[in-house]
Structure formats: C-alpha cells, structure tokens
Amino acid sequence: MSTYDRGREKGTYAILPIVEILGQLPSSNPVRAKIDRKIVSLSEDAALSNPSNDRLALVDVGVGNWSSLLSLLRRLGTQPVIVRHWKDLVACNRVILPGVGNFGSFSSALKTSGIWEEVRSSALHNAIPLLGICVGAQMLFDSSEESDAGEGLGIIPGVVKRLSPDLTKTIPRIGWDYLEVSRSAGLSEGVVESLTAPNRFYFSHSYFMSPTDRSVVKSTSGSSSNIPAIVSSSNIVGVQFHPERSSKYGASFLKAYLDGFFDAP
C-alpha cells in the first residue's frame, strides 16, 4: 500500500499532494506560507475526524532549521504538522521543538508567536510528549548564559552554561561523538540500542545543559563523559545533538524515541 493510500485511509489524503508541492518551493516563496497554513488547517480537520491519529507538531518560529528534520520524520512514516502559531498546537498530541542559533532570539520568537506559553502548558499540565533538540533542548531550562534577556521555558530546573576549556578542547564544540548511557536511566531497549557505539551523533554547540537535579541526565558525551547529551523528566526529553543530521544513527534514535522513550513498567 502506498503512502498516498495509507493517507487516504486515515483521512489525511488531502495533505499529501500539498506537502509534495511544498517540498518543491523555496522558503522565500509567498505561496509556500499559504500552503503551510493550509496544511495546518487540513491536518487539524483530519485529526478531529480521526482522534486516534498521532498528531506530531514540528515547531517553526523562523530561527530553527526544521526542513531536514521534517524530511527525516516523513521518512520515518510520520506526518508532522509545521506549527508557527500557538493555535496550531492545540490539537497536537506530540511536540518537537528544534532549535538552531541564539537562545535569546529563539526565546523571543517563541513568545511572539504565543508558542512559548502553549508548549509550556501542554507539556507541564497535559503531559504531552515534548522533544527539544539543541537550542530547543536548552530552552527547556530556566535561563542561559548566552542571553541575559532570554527566558527559558523553565520545564526542567537548571541553567544553560557556556562550555569551558576543561570540558572540551575546542569551543564551539563541533563534530561527532559517542554517547555514554546511564544504567539507571530506565530508557527503553530500543533507545539504549540506538545510542550505543558504534552509533555516533553530531553536536554543534557552545553552551551545555546544567540541570539542578543530575538524575534527569540520561546520557552524556565528551572525553570525560561530562557534557549532558540527553536530559529527561517524565514526558519531556531534550537532546543536545542533532538527530536530523546524525545520519542513520540519528534516524534510529528518533524512531526509537517515537516508539517509546522509557522502558515499559
């Protein structure tokens, strides 16, 4: 059965041709913005008509690089919805917050779009699974040394600190690394397998997550395994690396995450 047929069965068939068109247009094209909005409204209808449909929101506030993540999520068989306004998040039951760039700019863009409050509320009060990537993961904390004015979501207590020479040879820290997975992390077998060497992951950052409670650190990287790579607290997960740019290893991690991050009790 083709993707198109599967989509038709689930009632989302109207989105697929538009997604294909969207893929051919540059981001600067004004038609594309209209198509993006159309996708949001059509998929909202589809989600309402099919409550069991797993509706995955991919947040885009203009400073994150979401296109490569979108391609990967589609290859994994999901139909993500690009979300640029808080209203579009309402019907979602899973949120991914990708981030590239400056903490302050990202925080301010989230607030302007109203997504800041909506993400916070859905993750904290409605237990919606939230995955933050790179700056998106750093945004889960209270604040960052990168920006005095930028406020974090404050979902995981702690701060984001600047990397120092005792943690890494070069700053920023750019490149691939193996991960160390905490034995007491309680991660699902699939996730642990996807994180185990020779699988390696791509990092590109100058700041690192420093949670108040160290037990939220599920995996580390760095020569002394002292830089948090994955943090998690109940339905919230933050990854410092870029799964969308970590080749087949990132794809297998993301697939395992979508299948279930924690070990079933």
Partner 1 sequence: MLPRVIPVILVEDGRAIHTVSFRYNLYLGDPINIARIFSDLAADEIVVLDRSRKETFLEAGNIEHLSRQINVPLSYGGGLHSRKSVTAAFSAGADRVVFRATCHECADLVPWTVAQFGSQSVTVCFNLNEPTKHRFLRKSPGLNDSIELAHNFVSQGAGELLFQDVKRSGKQEGPDFDSLGFLGSLFSTSVILSGGVYSITDIRKAVQFGFSGVAVSSKFSREASSGSPLVSYLSEEERKQLHP
**Contacts to partner 1 by CB under 8 A:** 23, 26-28, 63, 65, 67-68, 71-72, 100-102, 105, 135, 165, 168-178, 198, 200, 202-206, 242, 244-248, 250-251
Min dist. Cβ of residue 110 to partner 1 (A): 16
Nearer to partner 1, 55 or 200 (CB): 200
Min dist. Cβ of residue 139 to partner 1 (A): 14
3-state secondary structure of 2: coil
Catalytic residue among 92, 134, 180, 205: 134
Backbone angles phi, psi at 121, to 5 degrees: -65, -45
Nearer to partner 1, 92 or 241 (CB): 241
Nearer to partner 1, 178 or 262 (CB): 178
Q: What is the per-residue burial (b if ≥16 Cβ within 10 Å, else e) of 194-208?
A: bbeeebbbbbebebb
Cβ contacts of 252 within 8 Å, gap of 6 or more: 193, 194, 199
How do beta strands 94-99 and 56-59 pair? parallel
Catalytic residue among 92, 146, 180, 242: 242
**Using N-to-C axis directions, what is the helix angle for 3-10 and 15-24, rounded to 10°?**
130
Determine whether 205 is an active site residue: no
Backbone angles phi, psi at 156, to 5 degrees: -115, 120
Min dist. Cβ of residue 179 to partner 1 (A): 12
- Cβ proximity of 235 and 129 under 8 Å: yes
User: Which two structure tokens, joined as six digits, stand for 214?
Assistant: 């160290």
Nearer to partner 1, 88 or 244 (CB): 244
d(CA 111, CA 99): 14
Determine whether 242 is an active site residue: yes
Min dist. Cβ of residue 244 to partner 1 (A): 7
Determine whether 244 is an active site residue: yes
> Catalytic residue numbers?
134, 242, 244
